[in-house]
Structure 1
Amino acid sequence: MTNPFENKDSTYLVLINDEGQYSLWPASIAIPHGWNIAFAENTRAACLNYINSHWTDMRPNSLKKMERKDMS
């Protein structure tokens, strides 16, 4: 059995959680609670390109909010 997270021939989704963190997710596996689809089912390469172009700040949203409060 191959790892569904590494199968280059499968289709994937890009998920995002409330913290603004992204995940490459096999389309054949149920989406876990707390995650939403950010980019619809597509190739692994297309999903990775989406993540790389949209997740430019790795800090979780809660940390960004704390930093903004500290600057006020």
Structure 2
Amino acid sequence: MAWEEDDKAIYTVVVNHEEQYSIWPEYKDIPNGWRAVGKTGEKAECLAFIKEVWTDMRPLSLRRQMEEAEAKGVLADR
């Protein structure tokens, strides 16, 4: 995603199907594969929001794989 130079520009926080977050200039159409999460504001405000809500940087598919592997390991130990 392209970053604007103007810190006073308004952005929209977006998320993809892997639960990865980014910001997108409000005046541009949100690209395919991303959706707005309902937060808009200046760059710093949007990045602070992302820092608060995106607590696990792993993509959703990786988290699921790891959870499945852990569950299988726990079941195998019994």
Give the TM-score normalised by structure 1.
Answer: 0.87
User: What is the RMSD computed on CA atoms of the aligned residues?
Assistant: 1.5
Q: Which has the higher helix share?
A: 2
User: CA deviation digits over 1:24-58, x for unaligned, max 9?
Assistant: 11101110001011133212121011011011111
Q: Once structures 1 and 2 are overlaid, which stretch shifts more, 20-29 or 38-47? A: 38-47
1:41 to 2:40 alignment: yes
Percent of matched pairs sharing the same residue: 37
Q: Give unpaired runs (5+ residues) of structure 1.
A: none
What residue is the counterpart of 1:30 in the other structure?
29
Count of aligned pairs between the two proteins: 70
1:10 to 2:24 alignment: no
Q: Give unpaired runs (5+ residues) of structure 2.
A: 72-78
Q: Which one has a bigger Cα radius of gyration?
A: 2
Q: Which runs of 4+ in 1 moved over 6 A?
A: none
What residue is the counterpart of 2:62 in the other structure?
63
